[in-house]
Structure 1
């Protein structure tokens, strides 16, 4: 009996195999496939390769939770261009205005983060696992010292370094470890290494001086390390004396997704409050943020310090304490007072417009109580959280007023006017005299130069720290009660106008599109 071949069944099976192979091929060339990643329309997030990537509400804005992803970003960008993926569209997105986030030069989905330079102003390994970032000449005591900001394994507070400073006249002194207080039981810590400077050598220190570090007294010159020592104090009669700046702000390691408008707002409002200069430590930031910083750097307003940490995930908060220590010494003899803030924090006087007038009022108030204001090393400010605003329509407002209100809504310092009733005594920030402080913690004064120097706690009704972020129920904070606080609205016209002017200038420059 002859078997009948079922051609219909063979054709159907062939089509099924073809469809399966086609689907498999398409999935294999997509950079973030549906098998390895999940895309959520509501949450705008990718999960890929064990890393979570959040896509912001606007196309082109990406939040990378893992900062060690430069090489992966480049591969993803290449794959994205190769497969010509379209940018996600958000329904109902209004047309961009002049105060919206500055447009990117390209339409790539993934921002590439600028990796700090490994050569310029970065750590030098002066001994095994001991990395020096900077060195400063310190003559605030009867004897002079070289202070080296360094990162090394924890637990060396009472040990000799075994390292020696070799000066130009071949005088040699041994380095001493000083382990700072805020290392949070991490494997690596911020150390201040100190070398006594012979008096004959100290008299010749000026500007930037080369310093040789030897690993032992008998080490050969081939094993020496060379670092530069910065001398901020200018000699009297040298003809190069300059007047010290009044106020400065230090911003510890800056990283992650940052809206350029937030950065400009931070700088411009801080300038209205009285800051003359800013020092930014850049860890991983976007190209747009670097362009904003370089714009201010050309004006002499900002100093950019590339912050490439030699150890990863073994030191507290990306080496924040070391950055604070470096900035304190860097501003010594250059600026009278230095604030240490993040870009969502502002020290705001309640009744005075600037830090200068606020301090005059505070000193008069304290002097009347018998306080020696000349012995103040640090002013400490309690903090309050400012909640996300609930926008309401302005009643009986003119068209111009409504337009200005819409503009103000883009500024966190102007739109968020409800703060926590309670102020935190723990999450404080400080305004410090660099010449009077030996070690500064993140939220407190750790060690002053002289015993008679002290920290003055400023009452919130005089001035406080405005923290523009979601309330955090930790330590001594309560997030249940809020009050109206419109203190920053006194800056609204100047802040809006100054920010618009800066954004226009940024847009017109060749390196910012």
Structure 2
């Protein structure tokens, strides 16, 4: 009998361990199910709340502002009210409080900030304030060994269920290593939808374009006009420009598109960080732009590109047609893989009509590209579903909302045409590609018309840099 008991003992222990694992598995599953039901109930309850914009006169014009001690060179740019609750880690829905959304704030701070916690000071229209511990606060990707980085901070917003709903008007950041951030906080206005009825509405199935920082006293007016008109032919309806430095001629073009209602133009005054922040803070700029396109203007799509890049569909008439046919609704971003055209190659002006004033359009005169298609996320660019994005990078989506995933566009379906001034590898095999010329006749006319509107004093000539 002792032998049988001794023989059974390890098996009994093994069975007990399996029972324990099953219990843990069921407990975790139950908690996940509870959490899922809580979030579903929250979403339904949230839609029945009355959201009123606290500052209807805010014009959505941001600029970089110093946080606390000026010598530290910490800066804050913008803040957005994000109604998505599925990106918040801990939500509330009880008799006392309900989670109504979160604030997403973009700042420039040291890549290795000594503080363990960052808080948001939210200010209401009656100048009362509330301090909220940030749920997320950290440097975004693509620091590239610089001492400063673009930061993304998220503070959840909970409202009392016993009092009327109040939305904050402004927000500031505070943390212990910068004492003045608490003693003398720097507030920025919180951006809400221009039309609050769009808060839970379907996004407009239109394409906006987020353009990389215009810097180094950029002066290539013809390229700028061609860029805008090419994307308009592809279905884009709005552009967001952020300028650091630009020539007077470029400013005239930007002001023209702004007057026409086709563009928003923002000062990107990061001069203090041009040497210690990656590419003039392009990551902060692209994230600000995507949130602006989604939250403020309700655009479904945002193409995140530089002035020398054109997303080119190969089997569809335009980007708009491609998205209309291929977007099934759960794609965070469509990744277009990169090929290079070299600006210093000889110009082929065969298809330029005789009457055209501005003949040297780069998409029409540069027809040799690299045969090699670079891998996804290597100099690729993305057109995103703006409402799916949590963190955007220069070449890829780093984080999207639950349920969304990237789609890498097959190189036979679409490519990123990258028109570089200099070749990266001048020995790469080149092929002739006339794809962009299918837009030629309309593009030449549109460029000439715009140049004539802006530079009547030059008889419609857009000078090349």
Q: TM-score, normalised by structure 2?
A: 0.72
State the 1:147 CA deviation: 1.1
Unaligned runs of 5+ in 1: 1-119, 364-372, 395-400
2:367 pairs with one of 413, 417, 424: 417
> Could you say if the C-alpha distance between residues 392 and 434 of structure 1 is closer, same or farther in structure 2, counting changes exceeding 3 Å?
closer
2: CA distance, partners of 1:507 / 1:166: 46
The DSSP-based 3-state class of the residue aligned with 2:394 is coil
2: CA distance, partners of 1:193 / 1:427: 26
2: CA distance, partners of 1:253 / 1:391: 27
State the 1:391 CA deviation: 4.8
Contact 1:381 1:458 in 2 (8 A): yes
2: CA distance, partners of 1:349 / 1:454: 20
> Could you say if the C-alpha distance between residues 391 and 291 of structure 1 is closer, same or farther in structure 2, counting changes exceeding 3 Å?
closer
1: CA distance, partners of 2:183 / 2:414: 55
1: CA distance, partners of 2:401 / 2:198: 27
Alignment of 1:122 with 2:63, yes or no, is yes
State the 1:157 CA deviation: 8.8
1:311 pairs with one of 258, 273, 276: 273
CA RMSD for the aligned pairs? 3.2
2:447 pairs with one of 499, 507, 510: 499
1:352 pairs with one of 278, 294, 316: 316
2: CA distance, partners of 1:224 / 1:469: 43
Contact 2:229 2:447 in 1 (8 A): yes
Contact 2:117 2:175 in 1 (8 A): no
**Per-residue CA shift, 1:65-89, capped at 9, x if unaligned?**
xxxxxxxxxxxxxxxxxxxxxxxxx
**Per-residue CA shift, 1:159-216, capped at 9, x if unaligned?**
212554344554331235222111112100010122221224994439xx23355667
Contact 1:385 1:470 in 2 (8 A): no
> Could you say if the C-alpha distance between residues 181 and 221 of structure 1 is closer, same or farther in structure 2, counting changes exceeding 3 Å?
closer
Q: Which residue of 2 aligns with 1:181?
A: 141
Q: Which residue of 2 aligns with 1:192?
A: 152
> Could you say if the C-alpha distance between residues 467 and 402 of structure 1 is closer, same or farther in structure 2, counting changes exceeding 3 Å?
closer
1: CA distance, partners of 2:393 / 2:310: 18
1:269 pairs with one of 201, 206, 230: 230
Q: Which residue of 1 aligns with 2:293?
A: 331
**Per-residue CA shift, 1:315-342, capped at 9, x if unaligned?**
1111111111111111114211101111
Q: Which residue of 2 aligns with 1:390?
A: 346
The DSSP-based 3-state class of the residue aligned with 1:308 is coil
The DSSP-based 3-state class of the residue aligned with 2:316 is coil
State the 1:462 CA deviation: 0.4
The DSSP-based 3-state class of the residue aligned with 2:170 is strand
Contact 2:203 2:299 in 1 (8 A): no
The DSSP-based 3-state class of the residue aligned with 2:380 is strand
Alignment of 1:487 with 2:438, yes or no, is no
1:132 pairs with one of 67, 76, 81: 76
Contact 1:215 1:224 in 2 (8 A): no
The DSSP-based 3-state class of the residue aligned with 1:185 is coil
Contact 1:211 1:227 in 2 (8 A): yes
State the 1:458 CA deviation: 0.2
2: CA distance, partners of 1:337 / 1:391: 33
Contact 1:166 1:214 in 2 (8 A): no
Structure index of larger Rg: 1
Q: Which residue of 2 aligns with 1:436?
A: 388
Q: Which residue of 2 aligns with 1:375?
A: 330
> Could you say if the C-alpha distance between residues 482 and 226 of structure 1 is closer, same or farther in structure 2, counting changes exceeding 3 Å?
same
Q: Which residue of 2 aligns with 1:18?
A: none
Contact 1:156 1:177 in 2 (8 A): no
1:146 pairs with one of 103, 119, 125: 103
Matches within 5 A, 1:191-340: 191-200=151-160, 203-205=165-167, 209-211=169-171, 223-232=184-193, 234-236=195-197, 244=204, 246-256=206-216, 257-309=218-270, 310-333=272-295, 334-340=298-304
2: CA distance, partners of 1:186 / 1:392: 41
Q: Which residue of 2 aligns with 1:172?
A: 131
1: CA distance, partners of 2:274 / 2:185: 26
The DSSP-based 3-state class of the residue aligned with 1:254 is coil
1: CA distance, partners of 2:455 / 2:358: 20
2: CA distance, partners of 1:382 / 1:467: 10
Q: Which residue of 2 aligns with 1:17?
A: none
**Per-residue CA shift, 1:472-493, capped at 9, x if unaligned?**
436xxx8421112111111111
Alignment of 1:464 with 2:425, yes or no, is no
> Could you say if the C-alpha distance between residues 316 and 213 of structure 1 is closer, same or farther in structure 2, counting changes exceeding 3 Å?
closer
Q: Which residue of 2 aligns with 1:103?
A: none
